[in-house]
Amino acid sequence: MEYPRLETLRRVRRMVVKLGSSVLSGSKQRLDFSTLRRLSGDVAALKAQQRQVILVSSGAILAGREQLALGIRPMTTQLKQAAAAVGQSRLMRAWDEAFAREKITAAQVLLTREDLRQRRRYLNARNTLFTLLRLGVVPVINENDTVSTDEIKFGDNDTLSALVAGLCDADLLVLLTDRDGLYSADPRDDPGARLIACVSEGEAAVRAGRSATGATGSPAPLQWSGTKEAAERRVELCAGGRPGPAGSGGMASKFKAAQLAAGTGIPTVIANGFNAGILQRVLAGEEVGTLFIARASPLDKRRQWLAFAAHPRGQIHVDEGAREALAGKSKSLLPSGIKSVSKSFEAGDVVSLVSGGVEFARGLSNYNSKELDKIKGLKTSQIEAALGYKPADEVVHRDNMAVLRR
Ligand code: GLU
């Protein structure tokens, strides 16, 4: 069945647009102000159509590198953090100036992983973004690189933008990069690489369009037969493209971000940020870039937070029977299905539920790790005798659980 691309994109009211350093540098090793002005013009045109736009903008390290005359040499994390501190204000000044030409006010929002992991901070960030949008302001989000250590990093702005799209209930995520979209192979190595027009989650429906060399003729769709898993693996292989000189994510991280957004019910378009009017073209339903179709029945908001934003403190390893009951029949986790527990966590913490070494769900544990060590394998009727008290029958209640894979 043909995916109603035009219908989906026409209905978009709120969108997150991620701009990578490769786009903002305009292939130079510094911020390219003309690119920022062009993109601000695009955003203004979308706002004139009553659409709300949230930008996720990289470029802090790029701008700091230029200001500090660090050249292109590789940098330590600390140097990157220092460069980001210098560059973020330059980046924001550039956006302010670019948007001022369009009579638009921009707002700087810096986030760390921790801000989205903690439910209260997550809800605070969400409320602030909604207030900014109500005021007609364009939020310009970046990772707070200066205080983000490895453990609390989003890793890249692709992931950040997918989480932000979920955070603010966006209808669309657009990842603008220096390539036309996802290819069947790395176009820098393989001139026959074909642009994949559409990726759907539920089936092996991966359609190819133009080839990297711009070969003419009607595009023969790639016949990617086989299971969904095989198709996903294939796409993952194709997505393995390394990042360009200024970027940090590469196609693989864009693919992952698109999958994350799809899981929260948000379609994603990966498109070329160098093309004039690219955002309008995407929203007009033109076949540009690669469209990732969203999951038809996404997780609800609370489960989205559990699945994607929260940080599991430990793992509960369960047997196959429990995995089937939880993932297949949406049951709660009882102590009888628990084999072991790893890492120490408190009651109320988010934990990973693991079977056969694979994490298949996340949820809030009603028990701490020490208690679970004592009651693992027991029947619920035996909990009280083992602990002296029983806070709940369920270790993880099904209402507090997000299944990641069935
Ligand atoms: N936050 C980084 C910066 O502003 C970019 C990270 C990324 O592009 O993924 O330079």
Q: Which residues line ligand 1 (CB under 6 A)?
A: 20-21, 58-62, 84, 142-143, 145, 156-157, 248-249
* Nearest in space to 91 (alpha carbons), one of 158, 141, 43, 26: 141
* Distance in Å, CA 402 to ligand 1 centroid: 29
- Report the pLDDT averaged over residues 218-247: 43
- Ligand 1, residues 157, 158, 163, 164: which to mutate, most atoms within 8 A of Cβ? 157
Residue 151's pLDDT is 59
Do residues 229 and 322 lie in contact, with contact meaning Cβ atoms separated by under 8 Å? no
Residue in 21, 25, 91 to alter for ligand 1 test, most ligand atoms within 8 A of Cβ: 21
* Model confidence at 219: pLDDT above 80: no
Dist. CA 59 → ligand 1 center (Å): 6
Ligand 1 atom closest to the Cα of residue 64 is 10
Residue 310 contacts residue 302 (beta carbons within 8 Å) = no
- Residue 379 CA to ligand 1 center (angstroms) comes to 50
246 CA to centre of ligand 1 in angstroms: 9
Q: Which of 328, 331, 357, 327 is nearest to 342 (CA)?
A: 357
Over pLDDT 90: what percentage of the chain? 57
What is the distance between the terminal CA atoms of the chain, rounded to a whole angstrom? 25
Q: How many beta carbons lie within 10 A of that of residue 274, not counting itself?
A: 17
Tokens of 141: 């989000």
Give the distance (Å) from ligand 1 centre to CA of residue 62: 8
Is residue 116 very low, low, confident or very high in pLDDT (cuts 50, 70, 90)?
confident
**Minimum CA distance residue for ligand 1 atom 9:** 156
Residues 18 and 175: beta-carbon distance below 8 Å? yes
Residue 321 has pLDDT above 70, yes or no: yes
Which ligand 1 atom minimizes the distance to the CA of 21?
Answer: 8
Question: What is the distance between the alpha carbons of residues 277 and 39, in angstroms, rounded to a whole number?
Answer: 8
pLDDT at 239 over 90: no
Tally of CB atoms within 10 A around 242: 12
Q: Give me the sign of the Cα torsion angle 16, 239, 229, 225.
A: positive
Per-residue pLDDT tens for 11-22? 899 999 999 999
DSSP for 156-221? SHHHHHHHHHHHTT-SEEEEEESSSS-BSS-TTT-TT-EEEEEE-SSSS-EEEEEETT---SPPPP
Bridge partners for 271 per DSSP? 176
Q: Between residues 91 and 28, which one has the greater pLDDT?
A: 91
CA of 215 to the centre of ligand 1 (A): 34
User: Can you give the pTM of this predicted structure?
Assistant: 0.78
Instruction: Please report which confidence band the pLDDT of residue 3 belongs to, taking 50, 70 and 90 as the band edges.
Output: low
| Domains, the chain, ordered by start | 5-182+239-301 (3.40.1160.10), 312-403 (2.30.130.10)
Helix, strand, or coil here: 223? coil
Q: How far is the CA of 116 from the centre of ligand 1 (A)?
A: 17
The alpha carbon of 165 and the centre of ligand 1 are apart by a number of angstroms equal to: 17
Helix (H) or strand (E) holding 141: strand 138-143
Beta pairing, strands 14-19 & 401-403 = unpaired
By C-alpha distance, which of 27, 94, 22, 38 is closest to 270? 22
Q: From CA 273, how far away is CA 176, in angstroms rounded?
A: 5
Comparing 84-88, 237-241, 297-301, which segment has the lowest mean pLDDT? 237-241
What average pLDDT does range 95-103 have in this prediction? 98
User: CB–CB of 260/16 below 8 Å?
Assistant: no
If one residue of 22, 55, 77, 142 were mutated to test the ligand 1 pocket, choosing by the most ligand atoms within 8 A of its CB, it would be: 142
Neighbours of 359 (CB within 10 A): 14
- pLDDT of residue 88 exceeding 50, the answer is yes
Residue 366 has pLDDT above 70, yes or no: yes
Contact 369, 314 (CB under 8 A): yes
Of 205-214, 262-271, 340-349, give the lowest mean pLDDT range: 205-214
CA 396 to ligand 1 centroid distance, Å: 36
The answer to whether residue 212 scores a pLDDT higher than 60 is no
Task: Specify the 3-state DSSP secondary structure of 109.
Answer: strand
Determine phi and psi for 53, rounding to 5 degrees. Answer: -125, 135
Model pLDDT, residue 259: 83
Q: Which of 90, 92, 145 to mutate to test the pocket of ligand 1 (most atoms within 8 A of CB)?
A: 145
Atom of ligand 1 nearest to the CA of 91: 4
DSSP at 309: I
pLDDT higher than threshold 80 for residue 278: yes
Compute the distance from residue 350 Cα to the ligand 1 centre, in Å. 28
Tell me the CA–centroid distance for residue 143 and ligand 1, in Å.
7
The model's confidence at residue 196, banded by pLDDT at 50, 70 and 90, is confident
How is residue 308 written in tokens?
């994607």
Contact 94, 36 (CB under 8 A): yes
Place of tokens 């786009």: 23
Q: What is the number of the ligand 1 atom nearest to the C-alpha of 155?
A: 9
Tell which atom from ligand 1 comes closest to the C-alpha of 63.
10
Q: What's the confidence (pLDDT) of residue 199?
A: 85
Q: 36-45, 185-194, 278-287, 370-379: lowest mean pLDDT where?
A: 185-194
Helix, strand, coil in percent for the chain, rounding step 5: 40, 20, 40
- The atom of ligand 1 lying closest to the CA of 142 is 1
* Closest ligand 1 atom to Cα of 145: 1
Report whether pLDDT(205) > 60.
no
DSSP state of 336: G
Q: Cα–Cα distance between 106 and 133 in angstroms, integer? A: 10
Is residue 335 within 8 Å of 350, Cβ to Cβ? no
